[in-house]
Amino acid sequence: MPKTDCGKSLSLMSGGETEKALRFHKSFPQYAETPLVNLSHLAAYFGIKGIYVKDESFRFDLDAFKVLGGSYAIARYIAKTLKKDIAEIDYNTLISDETKQKLGDITFYTATDGNHGRGVAWAANKLRQKSVVLMPKGSSQARLQNILNEGADASITDLNYDDAVRRAGKKAAADSHGVMVQDTAWEGYEEIPGWIMQGYGSMSAETFAQLKAVGVEKPTHIFIQAGVGSLAGSVIGYFANLFPDNPPVMTVVEASAADCLYISNLAGKLVGVKGNLSTIMAGLACGEGNTISWEIIKNYAQFFVSAPDWVASRGMRVLAVPLKGDDKVISGESGAVTAGLVFTLLRDTEYRDLREALGINADSVVLLFSTEGNTDPEKFRDVVWDGEYPSANK
């Protein structure tokens, strides 16, 4: 049962709201369901019923799930501006001359490690609008180039992620035609982040339908990674709405260098992490949590895990080189950390207490989300080919 009332935030991820987002995304000519990979041989190896991985490396040819949130938030903004219901807005409406004329010129601002910014830039490009994308220091040149390829004004700053968000917000506020499209929320900025969370819901809705198609009525365990927590709040909120009386056991996994939600859970309130936030999990290098997703997470996530970099690198290798008979999943650092954690819990005896606390047994069906593919090829080769960040106990 939830610890406190989070009805307003939880209602963001209701079935009706998620269906609106999925209907919108299905109107895109680029739309196709991303695969749900059944790692049946890995599950059998560990003596559990199932391990399923939603592979977002195929999403809209952008190699990551983030575009679902940015595109839907932009659509909701346009619908509100045109005084229309989101049901009246589809892809063709977005890119039409009529919509362009009514909207005039808009510049969409955001900060990103790469995937969210690429999605916003892609959506803005389709709309024939401008985008400005700021990236934190240490960001990958390959990810920067992907954003530039979408026509954005993009650059790597000398700031950490959270400060880059603040700078982007100031730029948007100073631009009379500027709109901030950020995948985190703070006091006074919650509507657009809520729309982004709903856009992510298309991924969860697809996943649930795919599970049912293979005879899985409900996963027993969901492991979901978190940066600011928008994705985690979206996934947890979706499944909490589906199964209000008996939700799956849901675990939030963060990079140890940026584990603001883990620390917030211990503190009993949302607190931040300062510093450089240095981790190979660039998509999770966020020190300040999303206020609206936190309301969901704190009530429905049963476990929080702070994971060092070697957990993510282990997950990348396990997914890229699967057991014979299982399909491979090409997953980047942020996408693979939950797979690395589950593998570690199931194999390494030193983590037996956590595995038992989670209640993982022969009847367990584990659901994971590989949220990005090979978005940083050089880093991917360093990890998978050259063994960078080996497991701590090896």
Our measurement of the distance from residue 31's CA atom to the centroid of its chain's CA atoms, rounded to an integer in Å, reads 18
- CA 47/CA 34 separation, integer angstroms: 27
- Burial of 276 by CB count in 10 Å (0-12 exposed, 13-18 middle, 19+ buried)? middle
275: helix, strand or coil: coil
| AA identity, residue 5 | D
Q: Which residues contact 265 (CB under 8 A, 6 or more apart)?
A: 298, 301, 304
For residue 379, the one-letter residue type is K
Question: Which of the residues are catalytic?
Answer: 66, 113
Q: Is 195 helix (H, G, I), strand (E, B) or coil?
A: helix
CA 298, CA 244: separation in Å to the nearest integer? Answer: 15
- Computed from CA positions of residues 187, 189, 194, 200, in that sequence, does the dihedral angle turn out positive or negative? negative
CA–CA dist 107, 165 (Å, integer): 16
Closest CA to 281 of 321, 328, 226, 334: 334
